[in-house]
Amino acid sequence: MKLFLSPRFWLLAALALLPLMITTDSLGLDEGDTAGYAWQETLSNWCVRLWSDRQADCQMPLGMLAAWVAGVILGTEAEWQLRAVNVLWGALAVAGLYRVGQRLQLPWLPLLLAIQPYFWFYQNEARPYALQLAGGAWLLVALVEFVLARAVGTGWAWQVAVAGFLLFCATMLAPLTVAATVLAGVFIAWRQGWRVERRAVLILLGGLVACVPVAAYYVATLVHGTKGAQVWHVDLKFVAYVFYELTGMGGLGLSYADIRELAHSPQLAHELAARLPQLVWPAVLGALLALVGWFGWRARPTPGRRLLPGIAIVLALTVGVFVVGSLAIQKAFWARHYAPVFPFYVALLGIALAGIEADGRPWRRWLTAGVCGLLVWSAFNFRFAPSLRKEDYRSAAQYAHQALAENKSVWWLASGYPANYYGLDTAYFEPEPGKVFVAFRSRVEVRTLPLPDVVVLNKPDLHDPAGVVQKIIAQNHYLPAVHYQSFVIWTNGGK
């Protein structure tokens, strides 16, 4: 029994889940961008790519550098090799929550992180978000140490400086999370009348100075015109979608591909009504999370309740800036952009669950069982459910390879980077023999080109937003030859 009460048991249980999260599924669209960095032959080549990149990947330099280093060590031939470095970042995040759990007498907190569907999803993404989540976990550790130490000492300051600097190198959005954490500490110190030691202030200033060259680099990327893709109109539906993903509902109901399709439907209310059965379990999870929060945070005091104001400030500031910023400037801040503050959300949920446990009433404990059960179910669906597999660039590329071998012309309405990873040569300006033609990047009017034999179509809202190629497909009697996850491959039935 002592084993199951030991904090180390919960830590080992969480760590044991990490290898299960990595798959050999096909690379997705954004993962192909990471592969482009990972397969650079030398560090010099990597630097050239970073400087010439005009996508948002160059604004996550530490993650792209880690992908390159992991590629040198593990190789890049298999998809799992590109994702395997996330086991390290996941272990660092779990270790951070282990430390927080020890300090707040919530020994199971690392396992609560490890059963989050959001955590499972991004552990299996060859992207820098698992790294960012780990950085956020150690910022949380710093805030906890600051509050429990009543601002005494310098250990917490070193944690803020180091974790903040590394997080700043991992994402251009890091200043928001770091600033929110510091402001939360300042507010609590002011309310409690604590005095911060001069040495701690100097350490924090040193961390800030270390970030200046990185900030100058980010400014340079913006001057060069680097920006992310804008796919959705940002409104309250988009905000709801973000929280649908953050809370883990995506593994229980509508897939993200389904939601993407619904978002562009002119009859959204009708479409949602038709899919209500698929929204039952997400609604149940949302209701249970709300009840756990309501009853748990109102329960008798627990050690974690001392951290509630600080955690709430960090989350409120981050969510407020992202939501208001999204609506005001029509910049989509996706759920992945919340990765650095996700550990704060897990800690907030853990404090609520501890409050439920302290309450002692059996019917309320069923809320805990319900929430944890649905989270595990959702997480395992992300890992094993066929409908939630990654978009299948691998199979689409294999089909295109075969078509090219038969001297057929292929239009590739999908990302070029995963195509390159799977061995396809790409042409961007005009069709070329033996290459797939990335039509949405063309500098010529595609309607004036000879009709292709094969059209590989992925995410039309992104790769054919004006519907030009879709009109060509419809007007020339193309037939769907095969469907893969997020792909439809059309062949010219008029020939």
Runs of H (alpha helix) within 247-329: 256-263, 268-274, 280-297, 308-329
Q: Are residues 426 and 458 in the same domain?
A: yes
Three-state DSSP at 429 gives coil
Q: Which two tokens stand for residue 369?
A: 């069982």
Residue 257 and residue 366 in one domain: yes
Query: 143-201: per-residue pLDDT in tens?
Result: 999 999 999 999 999 999 999 999 999 999 999 999 999 999 999 999 999 999 999 99
Amino acid 229: pLDDT: 59
User: Is residue 360 located within the same domain as residue 402?
Assistant: no
Quickly count: other Cβ atoms within 10 Å of residue 391's Cβ.
24
pLDDT band at 228 (very low <50, low <70, confident <90, very high): low
Q: How many domains does the chain have?
A: 2
Do 167 and 340 meet the contact criterion of CB atoms below 8 Å apart? yes
Do 298 and 362 belong together in one domain? yes
Count CB atoms within 10 A of the CB of residue 449.
16
Range of the domain at 417: 393-492
Identify which of 463, 487, 490 has the alpha carbon closest to the alpha carbon of residue 393: 487
* Residue 417 predicted with pLDDT over 60: yes
CB neighbours of residue 369 within 10 Å: 10
State the pLDDT at residue 190: 94
DSSP of 356-392: HHHH--HHHHHHHHHHHHHHHHHHHHHHH-GGGSPP-
The confidence band for 255, taking pLDDT boundaries of 50, 70 and 90, is confident
Identify the pLDDT of residue 264: 67
309: helix, strand or coil: helix
User: Does one domain contain both 340 and 444?
Assistant: no
Q: Do 342 and 459 share a domain, yes or no?
A: no
Give the mean pLDDT of 62-79.
Answer: 96
User: Do 472 and 326 fall into the same domain?
Assistant: no
Compute the average pLDDT of residues 75-81: 95
Question: Reduced to 3 DSSP states, what percent helix, strand and coil does the chain have, rounded to the nearest 5?
Answer: 70, 5, 25
Tell whether 220 and 302 lie within a shared domain: yes
Domain boundary among 388, 409, 443: 388
318 & 467 share domain: no
Residue type, 350: G
pLDDT for residue 1 = 38
pLDDT single digits (tens) 437-494: 998 877 778 888 999 999 999 988 888 988 999 999 999 999 999 999 999 999 987 5
Looking up tokens 């010099």 gives 44
Q: Which of residues 356, 388, 420 is at a domain's end?
A: 388
- Residue 70 exposed, middle or buried by CB count within 10 Å (0-12, 13-18, 19+): buried
Q: How many CA atoms, within 13 angstroms, populate the side-chain half-sphere of residue 268?
A: 8
User: Are residues 376 and 295 both part of a single domain?
Assistant: yes
pLDDT at 237: 79
More confident residue, 256 or 209: 209
Please give the angle made by the CA atoms of 123, 379 and 172, to the nearest 5 degrees.
35
Same domain as 50, residue 124: yes
Domain boundary among 371, 388, 405: 388
Query: Which three-class secondary structure state does DSSP give residue 481?
Result: strand
Instruction: Take residue 432 and report the two structure tokens written for it.
Output: 């070329």
Going by the DSSP 8-state scheme, the letter that residue 458 receives in this structure is E
Q: Give the residue-averaged pLDDT of 89-99.
A: 98
Is the pLDDT confidence value at 72 over 50? Answer: yes
From the number of C-beta atoms within 10 Å of its C-beta (0-12, 13-18, 19+), residue 475 rates as exposed
Rounded Cα distance between 250 and 117, Å, is 8
- Provide the 10 A C-beta neighbour count for residue 109: 32
In whole angstroms, give the CA distance from residue 340 to residue 166: 11
**Which of 203-212, 264-273, 309-318, 355-364 has the least mean pLDDT?**
264-273
Please check whether residues 381 and 426 belong to one and the same domain. no
Is the pLDDT reported for residue 317 higher than 90?
A: yes
Band the pLDDT of 232: cuts 50, 70, 90: low
- How high does pLDDT run on average in the chain? 91
Query: Which range, 6-15, 79-88, 331-340, 485-494, has the best average confidence (pLDDT)?
Result: 79-88
